[in-house]
Structure 1
Amino acid sequence: MKNYPQAARILVAIDCIIFGFDGKEIKLLLIKRNFEPEKGKWSLMGGFVNEDEDLSDGAARILYNLTGLKNIYVEQLETFGKARRDPGERTVSVVFSALIKIDAHDSEAVRSHNASWIALDARPKLIFDHEEMVARAIEHLKYNAALHPIGFELLPERFTIPQLQKLYEAIYNIPIDRRNFSRKLLSTGLLIDTGDKNNNGATKKATLYKLDTEKYKANFHSFWNFMPDSMKE
């Protein structure tokens, strides 16, 4: 503060909106706070930025501490800075959205943070402006999922086309025509047939695919047109 002696103290926080998919529903990873303010209420996972830390590094640290995962899909969404958004102290929050594979995260770390996976439609009332943050993130997820193949970030390493269809139906909350979706998906060239069949669950005997990671990374920002036809009318 020596160069800016008249500047007010403002804290910078990071709030992480963490989406997962359990095969049926899109879920949020939320924590029940064990500290004030708003102790005992539900919130997003977050923390304050360290003095020598970039915002992206801070988000990666918070996500790793909660999930035990590194190198996951995460992007900076928006900044929330209303003067009285946090009753504890003047705080500006930078919001990040992350997509993780539920079956790959550290469940012990989640429990240790008093966190739980909760379906989007069943989420409790959240503290501060966290509900507004989630609403913005959901709209951004829908937009991104229509144009880019980010849905793969929520699936296990090997998956069936019906599983991927269930994911997109969960994102948009609408039914999707199976044949049309399958045709669009296979035409992208992003899938590699593993030669194996799924022996479990509702998609029993369906072909198991894996993602062609090289094509995925090289063409991530291409326009893939995953938007369901029914949403274009």
Structure 2
Amino acid sequence: MVAYYNEYSKVYVSVDCIVFGFEEGHLRILIGKRKMDPGRGEWSLYGGFVGNNESLNDAANRVLYDLTGMEGIYMKQAGAYGEVNRDPGDRVISVAYWALINVKDYDEHLREQYGLEWVNIDELPQLYSDHNRMVEKALRMMRKRISTEPISFNLLPELFTLTQLQNVYEAVCHEEVDKRNFRKRIKDMDFIEKTEKIDKKSSKRGAALYRFNEKSFSEDPNFKL
């Protein structure tokens, strides 16, 4: 292979993954302590360097699969971070991705293997380098999308109650919504289907369980939560 650009300096390119989950009424994020220098022992997002034969998306999907063991995860790019001194180890440009998963689908053995913790977003500690900025950007993007895209369902089990759905919306947007109006809007959406199953864990009377119908959603261009 002919070598080009030899007169230019080389930089490293990495991906950092912001994994959000929802549990017990809280929006949570998956973080861990760095096991390498620089920054050993500091709280950090999980990431990795982009391989020579990988696209950015391929690298992010690889990192997410290594981290969660899950494929087909909802994932969006949150932007590139390239301040000259952002990484004291070397010149590193990082592209951040945010992903949404259902905490119950995540293999606890993998979490323990990588030494990771689910932390409430309101209790997020100081992270390595500019990782807090990445999280803030991802949160803004998620809050903007949640009312116009059905991303909430990525944080929920296949069957969910309306209370769970409302709790997700409130946790992401960090604001309370009127229960009556919220449920009225939900019941007008054909792609949120009521099933015959009942969740008896949340109350003595039990609550109806619903599911998201992706096919019906694709036929509804006017979604707005």
- Determine whether 1:139 maps to 2:137: no
What pairs up with 1:205-220 in 2 under 5 angstroms?
205-216=206-217, 218=218
Partner of residue 159, structure 2 = 158
Read off the aligned partner of 1:6 and give its amino acid letter: E
3-state DSSP of counterpart to 1:224: coil
Partner of residue 223, structure 2 = 224
What pairs up with 1:15-164 in 2 under 5 angstroms?
15-164=16-165
Return the offset for 1:215: 2.5
Give, in whole Å, the separation in 2 of the partners of 1:27 and 1:174: 16
Query: 1:196, 1:207 within 8 Å by CA — same for their partners in 2?
Result: yes
- Determine whether 1:183 maps to 2:181: no
Partner of residue 9, structure 1 = 10
Q: TM-score normalized by structure 1?
A: 0.92
Give, in whole Å, the separation in 1 of the partners of 2:56 and 2:219: 26
Give aligned pairs, total: 224
Give, in whole Å, the separation in 2 of the partners of 1:38 and 1:204: 51
Query: 1:67, 1:107 within 8 Å by CA — same for their partners in 2?
Result: no
Greater Cα shift, 124-133 or 204-213: 204-213
- Identity among equivalent positions (%) equals 34
For structure 1, the residue ranges without an aligned partner over 5 or more in a row are 227-233
Change beyond 3 A, Cα 1:193–1:39:
same
Return the offset for 1:111: 1.2
For structure 2, the residue ranges without an aligned partner over 5 or more in a row are none
Change beyond 3 A, Cα 1:47–1:166:
same
Which consecutive aligned stretches of 4+ in structure 1 deviate over 6 angstroms post-superposition? none
Change beyond 3 A, Cα 1:203–1:66:
farther
Greater Cα shift, 195-204 or 182-191: 195-204
Q: TM-score normalized by structure 2?
A: 0.95
Return the offset for 1:57: 1.0
Deviations 1:116-162 (A, max 9, x none): 10000111110100011111111111101122111011000100001
3-state DSSP of counterpart to 2:48: strand
Change beyond 3 A, Cα 1:204–1:77:
farther
Aligned-pair Cα RMSD in Å: 1.5
Read off the aligned partner of 1:196 and give its amino acid letter: K
Return the offset for 1:31: 1.3
Return the offset for 1:18: 0.6
